[in-house]
A and B are shown apart, each in its own frame.
Chain A
Amino acid sequence: MRDSDVLDNNPQISRSALEAIHDQVFGWALSRCDYNRSVAEDLVQQAYVELLTGRARFEGHSTLKTFVFGVVQNLSRSRYRRLATRLRLISQAGQEVSATVEDKPADDHASLWQAVQGLPQRQRDVIELVFCRDMTIEQACVVMGVTTGTGRQHYDRAKKALRQKLGEEARHDIG
């Protein structure tokens, strides 16, 4: 870590370390706001402001990625909650008008994606964090702000639900 790289108000964070996880942070922010890119960019910017000002202070109790994901999660819960609800309503209305949805995986991934999106929020979050963002269940629980026991329950239920959904689809395809 270069000295000039270290944030003034967050001495345990370097700019280069943030740059290394930027893509994943943006991906997480995207899923926090129903894949609206401009809102996600705003969310990530605000998360960086929190780090720059030291309002969100990293003390090294977890990995930097877990910490920054947690900041994004908290911001999305507070500041962007109303906006996210509005976006969800708009998106639902849009889906009723047109069945085609932009920026969503298509073809062979579509059924799996839809199955995941159909899960309850916390199950979806834990699956995304563990399967797609390379986190352990414990780290995912820190980001989500739940106990490890609760997180494990969500994880197990999510896997079970996914298997069931995908199994049903496979049976339909064969039939």
Chain B
Amino acid sequence: MTSDEQKLRERLRAAQQRADGEAPAFDATWVAAERRRNKRPATGAAVAAGIVALIAVAMLSIAPQPEALNLVDVEELVASTTWVAPSDSLLPQHRFDIFQELPELLESTGSEEGTLL
């Protein structure tokens, strides 16, 4: 190191010391740091719990509510229902589904003395 550099270093160090001033007591800083360390997890946990609670409340308010059960009386339901077969309209007079006599579909199906022609 040259003498110029040494002089520069000394001057700069003196200037830096003046700028730094007096540092706060180590003990006070240490105690404050310990206090901050102890406080930190509790504060963090409380904040986290608060956020979770807020999210839960928000989700509950947004989620659709389940509808109340609407019970149906079975007998009433059966009495109120009807069923009509699609082929009912083909039946004579739309009523009977059993032919009383053998229908005559074609002439060739006519019978003579009990036998089909």
Contacts and interface: CB of A to CB of B under 8 A. Distances in A.
A109 B13 CA distance: 10
A107 to B, nearest CB: 10
* Chain B contact surface mostly: helix
> Which bucket holds chain B's interface residue count?
20 to 34
Given A22-B23, A48-B33, A113-B19, A132 B13 contact: yes
Contacts of A52: 33-34, 37
A144 B107 CA distance: 114
Contacts of B18: 104-106, 109
B64 to A, nearest CB: 43
B19 A49 contact: no
Interface residues of A, number: 36
Nearest to A29: B23
A138 interface: no
B99 interface: no
A57 to B, nearest CB: 15
A49 B4 CA distance: 41
A132 B40 contact: no
A45 interface: yes
Given A112-B12, A162-B8, A35 B19 contact: yes
B73 to A, nearest CB: 68
Nearest to B10: A131
A132 B29 contact: no
Contact of A18 (B12, B24, B26): B26
B98 to A, nearest CB: 92
Contacts of A152: none
Contact of B30 (A15, A46, A163): A15
Interface string B30-41: 101110110010
A104 B34 CA distance: 31
A159 interface: yes
Contacts of A108: 11
Contacts of A44: 24, 29
Interface of A: 15, 18-19, 22-23, 26-27, 30-31, 35, 37, 41, 44-46, 48-49, 52-53, 103-106, 108-109, 112-113, 116, 127-128, 131-132, 159, 162-163, 166
Given A41-B29, A163-B4, A166-B8, 20 more contacts: A18-B30, A19-B30, A22-B26, A26-B29, A27-B23, A30-B19, A35-B19, A37-B21, A41-B24, A44-B24, A49-B33, A49-B37, A108-B11, A112-B15, A116-B12, A127-B12, A131-B16, A132-B17, A159-B5, A159-B8
Interface of B: 4-5, 8-9, 11-21, 23-24, 26, 29-30, 32-34, 36-37, 40
